[in-house]
Amino acid sequence: RKEVEQDPGPFNVPEGATVAFNCTYSNSASQSFFWYRQDCRKEPKLLMSVYSSGNEDGRFTAQLNRASQYISLLIRDSKLSDSATYLCVVSLSGGYQKVTFGTGTKLQVIP
Amino acid sequence: EAGVTQFPSHSVIEKGQTVTLRCDPISGHDNLYWYRRVMGKEIKFLLHFVKESKQDESGMPNNRFLAERTGGTYSTLKVQPAELEDSGVYFCASSQEPNTIYFGEGSWLTVV
């Protein structure tokens, strides 16, 4: 079983739609959780950290369910510029330790 | 402020040759990481430097890979001899604050 699993997609959604991605992780000792965004042939960039209480940043909402070991990302009012691959990233501890990536979920927002 | 820079951005080499990838982290960042993504797979951790010391090299695939960070500034990742399965994109990242990692644009390696 992979340490971090994501549905690779692609998710093709119309502009303005709401789309949600889920990610599951296998190691219950994981402490830190993130969503990264990666554009085609570019480097991953931090989209948002994921906190136990859930957090929101504009049109983006991230949630963590420790009991079920999954993380979600909700994007409301999708824009064309949201088209990218969204990477679920998990770390065993906070701080500077290595992070583990999922394979990513590809999102294509269609006009 | 300059971000993480990597060189070369693209490299095509023959099987059996040697390639050296360089990473310049963000100035002042003590933590430097190497990751790689091979075709169709997820980005995987290779190793982590704290200044010039290897903190964790558990992800290095085999002894054909050698990473150094002399002086605790830039780092190099050498692949010798390169094999076909080494093709992929090699990302360097650096960090100075907990849970805040900045990635370079990657070095795309093709072994033919």
Q: What is the pLDDT of residue B1?
A: 65
* Mean pLDDT over each residue of chain A, to the nearest integer: 94
Which chain A residues are Cβ-neighbours of B106 within 8 angstroms? 43
Question: In this predicted model, what pLDDT tens digit does every residue of B46-97 receive, in sequence order?
Answer: 999 999 999 999 999 999 999 999 888 999 999 999 999 999 999 999 999 8
**Given CB atoms, is A31 within the 8 Å cutoff of chain B?**
no
Q: What is the pLDDT of residue B79?
A: 98
Are the Cβ atoms of A42 and B105 closer than 8 angstroms? yes
**Token pair in block for residue A23:** 């990610």
* Mean pLDDT over each residue of chain B, to the nearest integer: 95
With a CB cutoff of 8 Å and minimum separation 6, the contacts of B18 are B78, B79, B80, B81, B82
**Given CB atoms, is A35 within the 8 Å cutoff of chain B?**
no
Confidence of residue B39 (pLDDT cuts 50, 70, 90): confident
Q: Can you name the residues that pair with A100 across neighbouring β-strands?
A: A90
With a CB cutoff of 8 Å and minimum separation 6, the contacts of B28 are B96
Pairwise CA distance, residues A100 & A4, whole Å: 7
Three-state SS at A19: strand
Q: For A104-111, what is the mean pLDDT?
A: 97
**Given CB atoms, is B31 within the 8 Å cutoff of chain A?**
yes
| Nearest chain B residue (CA) to A49 | B99
Confidence of residue B99 (pLDDT cuts 50, 70, 90): confident
Which chain B residues are Cβ-neighbours of A44 within 8 angstroms? 43, 91, 103
